[in-house]
Amino acid sequence: MDYRFFEPEDFAADDNFQHWILHPDQQSENFWTEWLREHPDKVHTVRKAEWIVRNITFKESWSASERADIWSNIQQGIAAEETPVVPLWRRFQWFAAASVLVVAAAVCLYMFRFKSVEIHTAYGEMKEVKLADGSLVKLNANSTLRYDRNFLDKAIREIWIDGEGYFDVAKREVKGKRVPFLVHANTLEIQVLGTAFNVNNRHGKVDVALEHGSVKITDEKDQNQAILLKPGEKASRISQKAEIVKQQVQIEEYTSWKNNVILFKRKSLTDIAVMMKDMYNLDVVIDNTELAGETFTGSFPTDSAEVFFKKLEKMYPMQISKDGNTYHLK
């Protein structure tokens, strides 16, 4: 190899040169020291090449929380796959063969008659829905979840939500291919990449708060509007025409309800009034207009909105009176 006409990049890309820098040994050391002595005018060039080769580095590393998230997702993934399948049919082959026909006929009839499943919660009610793929959806009060009965047989797992739900999505593979999970909220599509998050879709406004994992949110009508969420981030869109906005949030504020606690941090009484209507069908009328701008920080159990009003009464100089389903704040 004639190194006399080499530029720094030629040295840096040369096998022997790389070997000298990356895996130095006596032989290469001898060769290059000798060569440099014979070509002192190339010292500059060689040092430049050496500097580049030595200093190429990659700095990225996982943050502690990312590291922990990934590991917990791995463990979840493992647990999901490990559920033992007991080959019962081996023991009851004949019986099984006969029942398969009967069941298959029944299933066909059933599927023919009911194409999609709809689950609804009443005011003040919560439900936990376990989907056929092992994913869990906790449905908040006054909310509806809808999916195709043959949800599992499709290339994409798709589900529609009105109201509020907390999703803990299980990974699913068919023949080594991952099956995507897609949540529709209004016209937004939330593409799930193995994860847990909260969706609130009420009055045309959609809020998606991500606990761990990652999701991609796109607008059905405008695929260019897409946002990727990291844990602790929330995406919201106030109406179909508005842009999707991303912000950092305290995730507990959005997901605490699934543990039967409603958590407010500096939430305006006007916002709380809307929520009371959505979840409990309670009308909150703020008679004293000065109160409308006040905020509330605190918590109350989901099964007792009463506690909230008691706390509120202690915090602010106000009188709360109840008339049927209506609370008046004065």
Partner 1 sequence: MQLSEPNDEETLQWSRLRNGEQHALAYFYEKYADVLLKYGLSVSYHRELIQDCVQELFIQIWNRRQNLSTPRSVKYYLISSLRRIIMDELGRGRLATDSFPEDSLSLLEHESQDREEMEENLNSRLIHAVRSLPARQQEVVFLRYFERMSYDDISSLTGLDYQVLRNTIHRSIKTLHKELSLTLDLLMIIFLSVTL
Query: Which residues of this protein are in contact with partner 1, per CB under 8 A?
Result: 7-10, 12-13, 15, 18, 22-23, 43-44, 47-48, 51-53, 55-62, 66-67, 69-71, 73-75, 77-78, 81, 171, 177-178, 180, 191, 193-194, 213-214, 216, 228, 230
Closest distance to partner 1 from the beta carbon of 216 (Å)? 7
Closest distance to partner 1 from the beta carbon of 58 (Å)? 4
**96 contact partners, CB below 8 Å, separation of at least 6:** 88, 89
Residue closer to partner 1 by CB (options 53, 209) is 53
Closest distance to partner 1 from the beta carbon of 224 (Å)? 11
**131 contact partners, CB below 8 Å, separation of at least 6:** 137, 147, 151, 157, 159
Residue closer to partner 1 by CB (options 21, 274) is 21
Residue closer to partner 1 by CB (options 56, 101) is 56
Closest distance to partner 1 from the beta carbon of 171 (Å)? 7
Closest distance to partner 1 from the beta carbon of 188 (Å)? 17
Q: Which two tokens stand for residue 199?
A: 């969706």
Residue closer to partner 1 by CB (options 49, 305) is 49
Residue closer to partner 1 by CB (options 73, 288) is 73
